[in-house]
A and B are shown apart, each in its own frame.
Chain A
């Protein structure tokens, strides 16, 4: 091994260790806070460990008072319905855009791309009024409808995947008498599973962490996790030790997803960004 390679390796590891520290260090006070009593939190440094790591009071309080169980249920329902619809629709749109030539195809693509330049916040006043007019505010359906739309990033992920699926497969199926719908549902769609997994993970985490939309549309009886968490914030003071416990509870589903799906995450991300 040459000296140059060794130096490169050292720099790489130093950089990676520093990056890890940047990510992990903010989580340590959060973990400490979650196990501290309120009195301990206000009288000790955030970097000082708690007196006991067996004080689960903040966790039980957050679940009970913040109704986090109910919030998780609503979050799961909203994410499941919106992601299933979003992924299915995105696959169908991408399939049509990739496999068929039609008038205004470029216009359609441009329109999808243009949506990226419009900030979500800019259109919310109008969209809120529309949702309000059809009486969907304060129901899960308002958020589901907003979440299930097809986005350009998803389309590009799917288009990249379709590049690797040979057109001959479609043609063979068509020659054998399969309809376009059958070809899509029974041949192409199953082959797009890696891209679908990537999209579910990327969008799922984004939607799970989203605060703006659910706080705008669901601020009463139906609450997602982020909105339930926000309810702990008072206009003047906030019990941060309880908020810390609630945040850690909120990280658990993401961790579980990561642990069980990490193979797909790495494969999917590598595949989706391959140019």
Chain B
């Protein structure tokens, strides 16, 4: 019967579609347009709607706070731990949220007491959760903290906060490391932070006779050997996900002794060879892998990776300061959370360096009905050095006495002593964007493949096959040069 044939056809199509959907569902599309870190694009100008941006970065003085009393603003944050509390384990080992760490919630309550403006805090996991609200300019979202947007998205969704020059008056050179399009800053970043370095468990390295992270590569590798011999994973990377590989960009800067290792790839025809900082750094990471410096087991989740450092199964992580309080919260009962420390990476040949940038971004949504109240709250945040220190950052607004969190002590001391130099991590850099486009064209950017494809050539269960690694280097160099020439980019 015709209907039966039709229904059979329809059901077959539906089942096939279902099967295909199921196959494709496991991997998320990579966001190649992120403006995070030093990867943002330089726009031509500030867009056409910048007219009503604040007159200055410190605009709270011009806002009539009394007229805003009784209002409610909504803030969406990807930092759930500052709203719900830090994830910890109780004496029985069960997970719970310690609300004393819900710093943003406490700050919002204090703000409401002082200004009579209620801040409704909502938690989002990724940018995708709030993108539809921003696209429709929904007034129910006033402030958002998620930072991974392309510059076009910043222009489309965020109210220009102030001009770069205005921000420079209050935040110095760090203003240029805030998310901007060359003219306007779209998210105020009221604090500074040190980026990827060495997060370590002091108690664990003491077991193999070290009190601190060695300052030279040879000593650092000797410590890793000793840890491995003692049955401790020297470094927890969490390779099962791709994003941990991107920290190599900062380490490439330390190898280069400058802040432009990533965009400088444009200068070379062999960016992945050992002669170039990026190639040398990837080779170094892969060599560490072959020597068993990274975890042999697969961590099912980044939380488990952090647990391994907290409980001493692993000694270090090569990430930013943001991870320190999270690991401290995972130190088992009876252990000392202060044994989790943050130190500069060793000297890879050009000296010891640490990347620094503005941190903790707050953007006002274009659709907000209460932009003044939103701005008032952001300015309130920028002046609360304790809140920023509790969050793991250092306040830097002119006139605000900074409180340096304990976790920065080792790096701060090294910077003060001149043994460790600071490199700025710029949010806006034309060469970085061009390099990103070249990597995208060469199909090497998504999932940090430009690192992962090389790193994964070595199988730790077998004798290292460096010939396969070298072949992959050649392949990537060729693909990179072809894409760069096709796009017509060169170092500017």
Q: Hey, which bits of chain A sit against chain B, CB under 8 A?
A: 37-43, 46, 55, 57-58, 61, 65, 109, 113, 116-117, 125, 128-129, 132, 137-138, 152-153, 156, 159-160, 163, 215-216, 219-220, 230-231, 233-242, 273, 275
Give 16 pairs: A residue, B residue, CB < 8 Å, sorted on A: A37-B89, A42-B311, A55-B94, A58-B94, A58-B95, A61-B94, A113-B10, A116-B10, A138-B140, A152-B10, A159-B3, A163-B3, A234-B87, A235-B80, A238-B303, A239-B303
Q: Hey, which bits of chain B sit against chain A, CB under 8 A?
A: 1, 3-4, 6-8, 10-11, 13-14, 17, 78-81, 87, 89, 92-97, 122-126, 129, 132, 135-136, 138, 140, 300-304, 306-308, 311, 313, 326, 332
- A57/B1 in contact, CB under 8 A: no
- A57/B87 in contact, CB under 8 A: no
The residue on A at minimum CB distance from B77 is A235
The residue on A at minimum CB distance from B120 is A220
- B10/A241 in contact, CB under 8 A: no
Partner of A113, one of B6, B81, B304, B326: B6
Query: Which residues of A sit under 8 angstroms from B313, Cβ to Cβ?
Result: 43
Distance in Å: Cβ of B95 to nearest Cβ of chain A: 4
Distance in Å: Cβ of B470 to nearest Cβ of chain A: 34
Q: Complex: how many Å from CA A239 to CA B300?
A: 11
Query: Which residues of A sit under 8 angstroms from B81, Cβ to Cβ?
Result: 234
Distance in Å: Cβ of A14 to nearest Cβ of chain B: 24
Known A128-B132, A156-B3, A231-B123; contact A237-B13, beta-carbon cutoff 8 A: no
Q: Complex: how many Å from CA A143 to CA B130?
A: 18
Distance in Å: Cβ of A185 to nearest Cβ of chain B: 24
Known A235-B80, A237-B326; contact A160-B92, beta-carbon cutoff 8 A: no
The residue on B at minimum CB distance from A39 is B93
Distance in Å: Cβ of A236 to nearest Cβ of chain B: 5
- B3/A160 in contact, CB under 8 A: yes
Query: Which residues of B sit under 8 angstroms from A215, Cβ to Cβ?
Result: 129
- B126/A235 in contact, CB under 8 A: yes
- With A156-B6, A233-B125, A275-B4 given, name 10 new contacts (CB 8 A): A37-B89, A37-B95, A38-B94, A39-B94, A39-B311, A43-B311, A152-B10, A163-B3, A234-B87, A273-B11
The residue on B at minimum CB distance from A29 is B300
Partner of A153, one of B11, B94, B123, B308: B11
The residue on A at minimum CB distance from B13 is A116
Q: Complex: how many Å from CA A230 to CA B125?
A: 9
